[in-house]
Amino acid sequence: MLRVGLTGGIGSGKSTVARRLVERGAVLVDADALAREVVAAGTDGLAEVVAAFGEGVLGPDGELDRPALAGVVFGDDGARARLNGIIHPRVRLRTEELIAAAPPEAVVVQDIPLLVEGGMAAFFALVLVVHADVEERVRRLVELRGMPEADAMARIAVQATDEQRRAAADVWLDNSGDRDALRAAVDVLWDARLVPFEENLRLRRPVRGGPARLADPDPEWAAEGRRLVARVAAAAGERGRGVSHTGSTAVPGLAAKDVIDLQLGVGSLADADAVRDALQDAGFPHRPDIDSDRPKPAGSAPWPKRYHGSADPGRVVHLHVREVGSPGWRFALLFRDWLRADPVARDEYLAEKRALAERHRGDPDAGGYAEDKEPWFDAALPRAEGWASATGWTPAP
């Protein structure tokens, strides 16, 4: 199954997106709804809340008096931490139960208001963020929910900023306009990305990079690289020894194929094999056809690696899993850092890439393009090593 994180600030319209995803077939796990469920009347969760905060948070109907509880914990970090310690473990347990009950081909959408604040983005194959301008969110909270404006502003102020949410967002859904436009955007997302992503994930089928077509430098490549690095690191767990954004999209100002190259360091190929299923479950299917033990450059020690692609049709990824300290691991980091530091080398490499892209325009998956770059790398390696020696460079993921 595909697990998607959905978040957005209060008043952004996240519930509208969630409803439309359910209408299209998603399984929704709503953290707010579960937080209410686990402290409903008669639950041990409610009993613990009352024991912690007093009978004053209990309404006459035996249900939790949420405004009264909010008055106790709002602005009090210690009280809020105690409340979270009661509710969050119960919500996590109920979430796991609902996900386990979902069919294997499900697109499971977890609606989590504080996904960004809780540092949870890396644990989802995709993160959707619903956005609306602060002024519009305040208007909705005041007019539609009857919230005093000062309260609305205070709630917004303690949540993540737009910049923090944008950094976590694989998909940014702008809800500053009308509801029909938002629903239409969700439909496109469902049909073009979520459904094929789930199928690719279930079938362990990576998307292909396509022809050798260079794109202009994209400032978003760096942010995408950071999100993917965090996702791979979370999947690899303790067997991972560092994840890096490598390749041309990691070099600012360099035109490149629109592909994010990543390198996961491991202690041994046994560790690479041990994390294979976790990487696949996280959205990075194994491609044994590109696993390699061949020497590079000719006559040198073998440069073994394991290779994973991406199941996400919206983002092509090449994930190279190599032993930390191996020549191949060092090579990927050295060339990235050298090209970042040396504009002459960067321009030479770009000229080579453009010539090869033209030569391989008819190549459907750019295999020949990638192979024909190898002589340039082999010839440039002494210069890169000279730069490393002169600057005292050492590999750091």
Name the DSSP letter for residue 10. T
Residues 259 and 347 in one domain: yes
pTM over 0.75? The answer is: yes
For residues 123 and 67, state if they share a domain: yes
Give the domain extent around 175.
2-202
Same domain, 374 and 235: yes
Mean pLDDT in the chain?
Answer: 92
Residue 148 within any structural domain of the chain: yes
- For residue 293, pLDDT over 70 is answered with no
Q: Based on the structure, what is the number of domains in the chain? A: 2
The answer to the question of residue 257 being in a domain is: yes
Lowest model confidence (mean pLDDT) among 24-28, 153-157, 393-397: 393-397
Separation between Cα atoms, residue 321 and residue 276, nearest integer Å: 10
Residues 92, 175, single domain; the answer is: yes
Asked if residue 397 belongs to a domain, the reply is no
12 annotated among ligand-binding-site residues: yes
DSSP 175-206: -SS-HHHHHHHHHHHIIIIIHHHHHHHHTT-P
Model pLDDT, residue 295: 47
Domain boundary among the residues 202, 229, 244 is at: 202
Please indicate, yes or no, whether residues 178 and 47 belong to a single structural domain of this protein. Answer: yes
Q: Is 11 annotated as a binding residue?
A: yes
Q: Cα–Cα distance between 265 and 53 in angstroms, integer? A: 48
Strand arrangement of the beta sheet that strand 171-174 belongs to: 27-30, 107-111, 2-8, 126-131, 171-174
User: What's the token pair of residue 73?
Assistant: 């914990």
Query: Is the confidence at residue 91, as pLDDT, over 80?
Result: yes
Question: Are residues 304 and 177 part of one domain?
Answer: no
CATH number of the domain enclosing 332: 3.30.460.10
**One domain, residues 238 and 296:** yes
- pLDDT given for residue 178 in this prediction: 84
In tens, the pLDDT along 107-123 reads 999 999 999 999 999 99
Q: Is 268 annotated as a binding residue?
A: no
- Residues 251 and 197 grouped into a single domain: no
CATH of the domain at 84: 3.40.50.300
- Domain boundary among the residues 202, 229, 259 is at 202
Per-residue model confidence as pLDDT tens digits over 6-65: 999 998 999 999 999 999 999 999 999 999 999 999 999 999 999 999 999 999 999 999
Domain presence at residue 215: no
Residue 211 lies in a domain: no
How confident is the model at residue 301, as a pLDDT?
A: 47
Asked if residue 176 belongs to a known ligand binding site, the reply is no
| Same-domain check for residues 224 and 144 | no
In the chain the beta strands, taken as DSSP E runs, fall at 2-8, 27-30, 107-111, 126-131, 171-174, 240-246, 260-266, 306-308, 317-323
Distance, CA of 112 to CA of 222 (rounded, Å): 25
Average pLDDT over residues 222-244: 97
Q: Is the pLDDT of residue 196 over 90?
A: yes
Q: Do residues 64 and 109 share a domain? A: yes
**pLDDT at position 357:** 87
Q: Closest Cα to residue 174, out of 160, 189, 158, 191?
A: 189
pLDDT for 49 equals 94
Give the integer Cα–Cα distance in Å for 214 and 272. 31
